[in-house]
Amino acid sequence: MSDPGAPTGPSRPVRRKLGRSRVEVTPLALGTAGMAGLYTPVTEEQAYEAVRAALRRGVRYFDTAPHYGLGLAERRLGAALRELPRETYTVSTKAGRRLEPSDAGGDDLAHGFAVPATHRRVWDFSADGVRRSLEASLERLGLDRVDVVYLHDPDDHGDQAFREAYPALEQLRSEGVVGAVGAGMNQTAMLTRFVRDTDVDVVLCANRHTLLDHSAAAELLPAALERGVSVVVGGAFNSGLLADPRPGATYDYTTAPAGLLDRALRIKEAAERHGTSLRAAALAHCAAHPAVAAVLVGARSAAEVDDCADRFEEPVPDALWDELRAAGLL
């Protein structure tokens, strides 16, 4: 039987190093929030097939977090990767929300996940909290190490994150427990501070380097390029609007305003005039900046993975960017 994880393209997928670390990632990466029941339930089989489809398409970088489905994303990712040699893929997880058992019952939809509320999240950016979070993540993943740890959404915990959590990550890196460290957020100001004031290898910037939100281009991306820090871009579709712009589509996890919907539709029409698609343009825009090492896409099925991979490989003509700039859309 052939290896279900064998890529359909080149025998060895293209890889890029994160900052000054030895950790390598593929230009297209798979995020795991969707396969952990983000908004709607996803079966074990669907999640497994999504990961295997990513492997077949040459994806070798997978991002997860305790937050996603109360640990379900980590467990499902670990199960799907278990048959493969550890050195053949890269895994990142996050710290900042520890999981504690809960008997409250009900579901976790208040936090966006259609899973039973078996645990509760506890914000913890202490040094001890970072280590405890990583230990629990390794157990759920069934791995003896992860390659990258990000501080996850320290927006309201900046003081403790810089004073305690980040030094703990540096210590883990110096001990060889992890290969690279960074922070992942939906804002650019604090990520820029991490780039300028610490020795992070990488930052994960979600929803702020897209066709509709150019805020990362002002300071974060130039600072990362200057400091030799890699950027992983998440949220290329701004949580849905750039994947399928229509009334009721989501933007930053809520219903898209009419003005942004109109803007997305105008970009879509321009892309189609140039023989490409909005999704391809959205991914290409994210990948184009020289500071960007990887674009992280979320998928809940093999079909969604294949669509993202197809769009990532789809040519986007330079004339489209010229038209978008001329129209004030980029």
The residues assigned a catalytic role are: 68
* Residue 195, Cβ density class (10 Å: 0-12 exposed, 13-18 middle, ≥19 buried): buried
CA distance 102 to 110: 15
* Residue 230, Cβ density class (10 Å: 0-12 exposed, 13-18 middle, ≥19 buried): buried
Query: Which string of DSSP letters, residue by residue, matches 275-330?
Result: TS-HHHHHHHHHHHSTTEEEEEEE-SSHHHHHHHHHHHHS---HHHHHHHHHTT--
Q: Per DSSP, what are the bridge partners of residue 254?
A: 251
Q: How far, rounded to the nearest angstrom, does the alpha carbon of residue 39 sit from its chain's CA centroid?
A: 17
- Strand 90-95 versus strand 61-63 pairing type: parallel
How many Cβ atoms from other residues are within 10 Å of residue 258's Cβ? 9
Query: Which of 79, 74, 71, 60 lies closest to 100, judged by CA?
Result: 71
Query: Which string of DSSP letters, residue by residue, matches 83-105?
Result: TS-GGG-EEEEEESEEEEE----
φ/ψ (deg, to 5) at 298: -100, 145
